[in-house]
Structure 1
Amino acid sequence: MTKNRFKEGGGPSQRQLRVGELIRRTLAEVLARGDVHDPELNRMSITVGEVRTSPDLRVATAYVLPLGGEGRDEVVGLLARNKGELRHAVSKKLALKFAPDLRFQLDETFDRMDETRRMLQQDAVRRDTEGE
């Protein structure tokens, strides 16, 4: 019996996770070295927190955040504007059958962690979570 890799709610496969991490490292390296020919993008320090790939590995969504949070509004637009050059850099470094289409979204993980921490520190929540 074959395993259905596309089942709903099944989570990413090992290959998706591995390729996503390779793309994340490559993007982070390219952005850190300033290999992109866009001075606006090169003046920013950008953290690539995670890259999620589609099951067929043709689409990769990179979750990014500018260091210090400054320029949050413009970072996704700058990366999208340079998507072709970034895609070329990724495909040159990785031996994939197809160069994935890169998409960029703001990484809101840290905001959610701060909000969760703030909620857990409220008196009403702390009372409920502490044992007697």
Structure 2
Amino acid sequence: MKKDHKPTGPSQRMLRVGELVRHALAAMFARGEIEDEALRVAVVTVPEVRMTPDLKIANAYVMPLGGAHADEIVAALNRHRKFVRGRIAPQIDLKYAPEIRFFVDDTFEEAGRIDALLRSDRVKRDLDDEPDDSEG
């Protein structure tokens, strides 16, 4: 009997619900609905929301514009996550509103680190040492 292959990435439903939650969060942040000192001056972006397969948990990756005080902002959002859940529940039209957990989105930082590595002298030297394919 053949074993079923497990999907390697998120399902279409997980992606669709994650995008719904992302839009609802972004709209809520734009309206400034959360009363918290840490969030008062911050413009928070939501690059990604990843849903668990059962759609019960939404991991929201956020980043304040400019990246300043990201940890404080994530802590403030996590303090208000029950309020946030209640506010976005009607907008996402699911049987159960997912629990929302906020995390700092470090993809830009990681991309910057990789870019810096690629521009380093060591990598440049390795690339310069490679033979040119046009010779020959």
TM-score (norm 2): 0.85
Cα deviation, residue 125, structure 1: 1.1
Moved over 4 A (4+): none
**CA distance, structure 2, for counterparts of residue 129 and residue 97 of structure 1:** 54
Count of equivalent residues = 129
| Aligned twin of 1:113 | 111
What CA RMSD, in Å, does the superposition of the two structures yield over aligned residues?
Answer: 2.1
The secondary structure found in structure 2 opposite 1:69 is: coil
1:122 equivalent in alignment to 2:88: no
**CA distance, structure 2, for counterparts of residue 53 and residue 28 of structure 1:** 16
Identity %: 45
| Aligned twin of 1:94 | 92
TM-score (norm 1): 0.87
CA shift digits 1:20-78 (9 cap, x unpaired)? 01101110110011122335423311011100000010000000111111111201110
CA shift digits 1:73-129 (9 cap, x unpaired)? 201110011101110111011110110000011000010010000000012212434
The one-letter amino acid paired with 1:10 is T
**CA distance, structure 1, for counterparts of residue 55 and residue 120 of structure 2:** 42
**CA distance, structure 1, for counterparts of residue 74 and residue 64 of structure 2:** 10
The one-letter amino acid paired with 1:32 is A
Determine which structure has more spread, i.e. the larger CA radius of gyration: 2
| Aligned twin of 1:85 | 83
**CA distance, structure 2, for counterparts of residue 76 and residue 25 of structure 1:** 18
Runs (5+) with no aligned partner, structure 2? none
The one-letter amino acid paired with 1:44 is A
Runs (5+) with no aligned partner, structure 1? none
